[in-house]
Amino acid sequence: MARISSFRQSVVVSVRFEFDEYQKVQDIAALESINSGRKISAQELIRDAVRFVYGDNERLRECFRRSREHINRKY
């Protein structure tokens, strides 16, 4: 029997990490699990990091602003 997905629209992504970076993420996940009393996976920490960094769309606004700079300079 398949596990019910907790994501409405999901995409499977493959990410390549340096070994020592992934070890750090696993260590942090282990410490978080001990402190919170529930199992926290490295994947969950990575998802949280992506939400934290890109969730406010600041990066999107910055990229859009930079893409418009060369158009504004011409005129």
Q: pLDDT tens across 43-52, in order? A: 999 999 998 9
**Backbone dihedral region for residue 48 (phi beyond 0: left; psi -120 to 50: alpha; all else: beta):** alpha
Radius of gyration of the chain (CA): 18
* Residue 1 pLDDT: 47
The count of C-alpha atoms lying within 13 angstroms of the C-alpha of 7, restricted to the half-sphere facing its C-beta, is 6
pLDDT at 74 over 80: no
Average pLDDT, the chain: 85
* Residue 39 pLDDT: 94
Domain boundaries, the chain: 19-74
Which residues, 6+ apart, have CB-to-CB distance to 23 below 8 Å? none
Cα–Cα dist 36/22, whole Å: 21
* Residue 10 pLDDT: 84
Residue 71: pLDDT band (50, 70, 90) is low
